[in-house]
Chain A
Amino acid sequence: MRSLELAKRNFREVWRDPLSLGITIGLPVLLLLVLQLFGGVDPFFTPTVLAPGIVLFGFVMLMFSSAMILSRDRESALFSRLLTAPVRARDFVAAYSLPYLPVAIIQGILLFAIGLFLGLEVSGSVVLVVLVLLVTAVFYIGLGMVLGSLLPLAPLSGAYAVVLLLTIFGGAWMDLEAIGGVFQSVGNALPFAHALDATRDVMVEGAGFGAIATDFFWVLGYTLVAVALALVFFRRKMTD
């Protein structure tokens, strides 16, 4: 219950900052609208291929926003006050993560709705797509909590750029088999390509859970590690 009280405050913080919220939700949508214009030139830019990658890009924005609010709070006197309340580290992490789930859901719905309007084809289970994307969203929010717990506000942009590049070159927007070598090995070890493969396999090929289980659990593993690390780092920050 106490984490819900704080989540409510964080939710208000997010929704009362229309500029940040607009960028977080709007930029991926804009990217989809612009890039799909090249669909006639290269099949990579058709909504069906493009949309899942852009959803991941949106989640990177989400990670940045969640990291920013936590990091900004940590530098404020309000945070010291919050830490003197009888609230556990896990409640804090939940309270800073929860407000971003509705943002992720709105972002996903908006992107897929626009994608469908532009010709996106979904052959598989929508529920399975939602499940994969939800776990992926939690992974990125968890990563945001790790970064927000560790870094002050200034270096966050650098961390954002690194995660964005890892997402792009880790297989979300690049074909790892075409890259090959060390990049392919590293990309396969990271969760991004697995999240994208699972989403595309369900959407385009109508794959069931069994077919995407390896990819799904790969992403889930990373999600659990990210959340656990967020808890560890946040707990450390509670008492210097």
Chain B
Amino acid sequence: MSRAAEGSYSAIRTTSISRTFGELTAVDGIDLSVEQGELFSLLGPNGAGKTTTIKMLCCLLKPTGGTATIMGHDIQKNPLSVKQVIDVSPQETAIAERLNAWENLTLMAGLHGVEKRAARKRSGELLEMMALDGRAKEKVKNYSGGMKRRLSIAMALVSDPRVLFLDEPTLGLDPQSRRAIWEHVERLKGDKTVVLTTHYLEEADALADRVAIIDEGKIVALGTPKELKESISGDQVLVVEAANLADDALDALRQLYPVVRRTENGVEIDGEAANIYDIQDVLRPRGIIIDSTYKKQTSLDDVFLRLTGKQLRQ
């Protein structure tokens, strides 16, 4: 299929795609359409079905129901064609430990059929971009966790894929390395279709053009981060800090407001209707003193809680 012909397709389109493992339904009839050049995030807690979805789209797992196309190629009928336009950075660091960084990159370029000269050029550029050029000829088993992860992501970029899957790219990284990877992913925007799975809400919020919130194998919300945040009673959360907040007080607040979340120092209440005087009326008779209150912007975590009744970060 020519690139011109590919231009008329969504980069990814899934139709009721499902996957079961025995009794467990990991992915439950997901319908998605990701446009070319879009940075799309699948956001959800561990076990929500994000990685299973990615594995099906990368032709590593067969769907038990539905189907999907990548750049117009059916994942079940033409897996080889799909693999020619995708690359993936798996959740675990996926590198050959006995090779050096240069060899790892040229290996992946070779497997994707990149011409040798182009592979050398791109490998050099990626090593520089990921700040690994100084140790490119050193066996990667001596690298730090952050360096290995950066190399793992570089290996997904060396084939210059049309569609790039980044499965939890910053999992377990320190904030500095995470920030560095965000910057690299940000640079890909518009040039490549990127599907980013994460359970870090700030990652999805900062990077994604659109976010699909996934829970128990189903998409429970889909939109831009702004749309999702606005979808729940305005975009503000009232934070109430109060020590010794008993369960009965929490229950009483939940009678007043639909989404009340216990925090370390008190509660958070979604929506602009939250009224401090009403809250005082609930807490004061129970001998609970409010230490402070303030309003904050709604986060995707708040959206997730509203939609699923669960917190994203357990």
Contacts and interface: CB of A to CB of B under 8 A. Distances in A.
Contacts of A12: 98-99, 103
Contacts of A80: 55, 60, 88, 90, 94
Interface of B: 55, 58-62, 79-80, 83-84, 86-96, 98-99, 103, 106-108, 110-113, 139, 155-156, 159
Contact of A77 (B84, B93, B106): B93
A78 interface: yes
A5 interface: yes
Nearest to A82: B111
Interface string A226-240: 000000000000011
A81 B98 CA distance: 16
Classify the interface of chain A: helix, strand, loop or mixed: helix
B113 A84 contact: no
Contacts of B155: 81
B92 A77 contact: yes
A13 B96 contact: yes
Given A9-B103, A80-B90, A240-B61, A86 B80 contact: yes
B273 to A, nearest CB: 47
A84 B61 contact: no
Interface of A: 1-2, 4-6, 8-9, 12-13, 16-17, 76-78, 80-88, 239-240
Contacts of B80: 86, 88
27 contacts: A1-B110, A1-B113, A5-B107, A9-B107, A12-B98, A13-B96, A16-B139, A17-B98, A76-B94, A77-B92, A77-B94, A78-B95, A80-B55, A80-B88, A80-B90, A81-B88, A81-B89, A81-B156, A83-B59, A84-B58, A84-B83, A84-B87, A85-B83, A87-B83, A239-B60, A239-B79, A240-B61
Nearest to A16: B98
B98 A239 contact: no
A2 B88 contact: no
Contacts of A8: 107, 110
A13 B140 CA distance: 13
Contact of A6 (B62, B83, B107): B107
